[in-house]
């Protein structure tokens, strides 16, 4: 396995190190537009190998030819939010970056799986798919795993139980319109509604929806990166080890949930082939409506990029 990470910033560098530490690849290449940053960070990470106990080669570069023949490319390049900004504020600028980055990646790798992180996530996944021409199942967005991790961590904190025992799904677009699905949320199989009053659940749902901005407001100079990097690497691990995990990921829906040809967060089976199945679970009328509204927002933002992508 060769894995390239584009963008040597907070998410990209953290993810590259996790990939090496988990030994998910023989070689990790870290690419950024800024000279010196990927080289310096990659060398620093590589030098941690003897104490962190990994042998993965890590190379930093500004040259896409170093990404040649990658099996997986994690794309984190672009601007991150600052206080007062929505993810949509990044749309035009990041779309141009993703267009450029994806074309460069495709010059050197024939059939990679692209995992997208840059925001606004669902739209950037669409941009990468359009530019790469890759099959839909090979262009996947990371958002649902992160939103679900936040939801799970808040529930664990409230109930004083292990995070490991919390099963949940946050679906829909990565933004204010995301849909935490209470019906499928349980603690070691016990429905969450039997463990917490509805007001508490609703408060956790709201905190989850605002999970990104909560961190932005603390950091002030950028957005979250530890949990986002861990979430992207969880997806990569399921693909590399062909674990066929069921994870909420951004994928192109093909009529599931009444949504057609729009990138949106849904439960998928992730394996060596990328998205191997989209699980169309039963949702309540309200949840289905919320998911469809979320997809409509993504679609509208995609249409705003028609000229850029023409
Ligand atoms: N999907 C999610 O859940 C999620 C979570 C966190 C962050 N994000 C998004 O991920 C992106 C990266 O976040 P970050 O915190 O790592 O930001 P960052 O500013 O720390 O890093 C971004 C990196 O991209 C590089 N870059 C910019 N233009 C480039 C180009 N044309 N080619 C190559 N590299 C380029 C920058 O030099 C920088 O090193 C942002 O868009 C952010 O909003 C998404």
What CATH number corresponds to the domain at position 279?
3.90.110.10
CA–centroid distance, residue 194 to ligand 1 (Å): 40
Q: Which residue owns the Cα nearest ligand 1 atom 10?
A: 118
Q: Scanning the structure block, which residue is given the tokens 């099963």?
A: 167
> For residues 247 and 235, is the Cβ–Cβ distance under 8 A?
yes
Whether 236 is in the pocket of ligand 1, judged by its Cβ within 6 Å, is no
Q: Which residue owns the Cα nearest ligand 1 atom 39?
A: 9
Q: Cβ of 292: how many Cβ atoms within 10 Å?
A: 17
Whether 238 is in the pocket of ligand 1, judged by its Cβ within 6 Å, is no
Task: Find all residues with CB under 8 Å of 241, minimum gap 6, and list them.
Answer: 24
Cα–Cα–Cα angle for 260, 265, 267, rounded to 5 degrees: 100
The number of folded domains in the chain is 2
pLDDT digits (tens, 9 = 90+) for 225-237: 999 999 999 999 9
CA–centroid distance, residue 164 to ligand 1 (Å): 29
CA 157/CA 299 separation, integer angstroms? 35
Burial of 244 per CB tally in 10 Å (0-12, 13-18, 19+) = middle
CA 31/CA 305 separation, integer angstroms? 25
- Full residue range of the structural domain in which residue 200 is found: 144-309
In tens digits, what is the pLDDT along the chain, a chain of 310 residues?
A: 999 999 999 999 999 999 999 999 999 999 999 999 999 999 999 999 999 999 999 999 999 999 999 999 999 999 988 888 888 889 999 999 999 999 999 999 999 999 999 999 999 999 999 999 999 999 999 999 999 999 999 999 999 999 999 999 899 988 888 999 999 999 999 999 999 999 999 999 999 999 999 999 999 999 999 999 999 999 999 999 999 999 999 999 999 999 999 999 999 999 999 999 999 999 999 999 999 999 999 999 999 998 888 8
Q: Scanning the structure block, which residue is given the tokens 């749902």?
A: 205
CA–centroid distance, residue 118 to ligand 1 (Å): 6
Ligand 1 pocket mutation pick from 31, 74, 92, 119 by most atoms within 8 angstroms of CB: 119
129 and 259, same domain (yes or no): no
- Helix 144-159 and helix 226-240, axial crossing angle in degrees, nearest 10: 110
> For residues 30 and 72, is the Cβ–Cβ distance under 8 A?
no
Task: Find all residues with CB under 8 Å of 63, minimum gap 6, and list them.
Answer: 31
Q: Scanning the structure block, which residue is given the tokens 């799970």?
A: 152
- Final residue in a domain of this structure, among 143, 161, 176: 143
How many C-alpha atoms does 268 have within 13 Å on its Cβ side? 35
Whether 223 is in the pocket of ligand 1, judged by its Cβ within 6 Å, is yes
Whether 105 is in the pocket of ligand 1, judged by its Cβ within 6 Å, is no
Token pair, residue 58, equals: 């890590």
Token pair, residue 39, equals: 């080289």
> For residues 230 and 154, is the Cβ–Cβ distance under 8 A?
no
Which ligand 1 atom sits closest to the C-alpha of 224?
6
Burial of 222 per CB tally in 10 Å (0-12, 13-18, 19+) = middle
pLDDT digits (tens, 9 = 90+) for 240-262: 999 999 999 999 999 999 999 99
Whether 249 is in the pocket of ligand 1, judged by its Cβ within 6 Å, is no
Give the domain CATH number at 79.
3.40.50.720
Give the chain's radius of gyration (CA, Å).
Answer: 19
User: Which positions are catalytic?
Assistant: 174
- Final residue in a domain of this structure, among 112, 143, 174: 143
- Final residue in a domain of this structure, among 121, 143, 165: 143
> For residues 28 and 49, is the Cβ–Cβ distance under 8 A?
no
125 and 149, same domain (yes or no): no
Is the bond preceding 120 in cis, omega lying within 30 degrees of 0?
Answer: yes
85 and 20, same domain (yes or no): yes
90 and 199, same domain (yes or no): no
162 and 249, same domain (yes or no): yes
Which ligand 1 atom sits closest to the C-alpha of 94?
41
Whether 94 is in the pocket of ligand 1, judged by its Cβ within 6 Å, is yes
42 and 127, same domain (yes or no): yes
């Amino acid at each position: 396995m060769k894995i390239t990470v584009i963008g040597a910033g907070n998410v990209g560098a953290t993810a590259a190190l996790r990939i090496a530490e988990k030994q998910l690849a023989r070689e990790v290449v870290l690419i950024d537009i800024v000279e010196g940053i990927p080289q310096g960070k990659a060398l620093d990470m590589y030098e941690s190998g003897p104490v962190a106990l990994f042998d993965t080669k890590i190379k930093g570069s500004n040259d896409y030819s170093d990404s040649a023949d990658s099996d997986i490319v994690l794309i984190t390049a672009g601007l991150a939010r600052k206080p007062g900004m929505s993810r949509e504020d990044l749309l035009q600028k990041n779309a141009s970056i993703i267009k450029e980055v994806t074309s460069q990646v495709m010059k050197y790798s024939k059939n990679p799986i692209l995992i997208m992180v840059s925001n606004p996530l669902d739209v950037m996944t669409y941009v990468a798919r359009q530019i790469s021409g890759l099959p839909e199942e090979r262009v996947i967005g990371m958002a649902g795993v992160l939103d679900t991790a936040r939801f799970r961590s808040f529930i664990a904190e409230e109930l004083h139980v292990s995070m490991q025992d919390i099963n949940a799904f946050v679906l829909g677009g990565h933004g204010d319109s995301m849909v935490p699905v209470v019906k499928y949320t349980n603690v070691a199989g016990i429905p969450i509604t039997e463990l917490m009053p509805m007001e508490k659940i609703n408060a956790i749902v709201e905190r989850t929806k605002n999970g990104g901005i909560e961190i932005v407001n603390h950091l002030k100079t950028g957005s979250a990166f530890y949990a986002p990097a861990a979430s992207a690497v969880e997806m990569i691990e399921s693909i590399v080890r062909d674990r066929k995990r069921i994870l909420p990921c951004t994928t192109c829906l093909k009529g599931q949930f009444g949504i057609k040809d729009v990138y949106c967060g849904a439960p998928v089976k992730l394996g060596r082939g990328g998205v191997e199945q989209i699980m169309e679970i039963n949702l309540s009328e309200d949840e289905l409506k919320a998911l469809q509204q979320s997809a409509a927002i993504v679609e509208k933002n995609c249409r705003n990029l028609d000229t850029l992508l023409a």
